[in-house]
């Protein structure tokens, strides 16, 4: 099941990089509520505003390619119908982290939430050191 979720996550980034509006539309949920938070943008709620934003991004000739990696299924609901994927993104040299939430619609994983934002390239040590660094900042 996790492999199917990761394949859906890869399909999302493939649609993004290929600037394929039809593929992007196909990856997003139709029956579940959807939301999206692009880096530096406000919250977009509802399929229409979310898809409008993606079509604008995909049709922007200056939109840089995105490199995604390190995807992992962070959580899977007990009923197996919702999954959370976290991954890294690199856009025009800017490191980002993303959270993608998928739901099952007709036995297919569909994106219902995407949020991406900037992160540091600098690595901090283990979990305790990272927690202290977060509290100190």
Q: Is the pLDDT of residue 135 over 80?
A: no
Average pLDDT taken over every residue of the chain: 90
Mean pLDDT confidence for 101-124:
90
Domain 2-121 class, CATH top level? alpha beta
Do 77 and 27 meet the contact criterion of CB atoms below 8 Å apart? no
Structural domain spans, the chain: 2-121
Counting residues of the chain whose pLDDT is more than 70, the rounded percentage is: 88
Res. 51 pLDDT band, cuts 50 70 90: very high
Quick one: pLDDT at residue 93?
87
Residue found under tokens 């530096």: 40
Q: Rounded CA gap, 109 and 122, in Å?
A: 33
Residue 13: left if φ>0, alpha if ψ -120 to 50, beta else—which one? Answer: alpha
Q: Is the pTM of this model over 0.95?
A: no
């Amino acid at each position: 099941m996790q492999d199917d979720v990761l394949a859906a996550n890869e399909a999302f980034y493939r649609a993004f990089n290929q600037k394929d509006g039809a593929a992007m539309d196909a990856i997003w949920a139709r029956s579940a509520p959807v939301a999206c938070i692009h880096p530096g943008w406000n919250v977009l709620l509802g399929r229409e505003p979310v898809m409008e934003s993606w079509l604008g991004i995909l049709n922007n000739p200056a939109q840089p390619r995105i490199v995604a990696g390190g995807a992992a299924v962070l959580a899977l609901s007990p009923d197996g119908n919702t999954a959370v994927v976290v991954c890294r993104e690199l856009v025009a040299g800017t490191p980002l982290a993303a959270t993608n939430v998928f739901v099952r619609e007709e036995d297919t994983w569909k994106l219902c939430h995407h949020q991406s934002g900037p992160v540091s390239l600098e690595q901090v040590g283990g979990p305790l050191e990272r927690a202290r660094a977060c509290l100190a900042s």
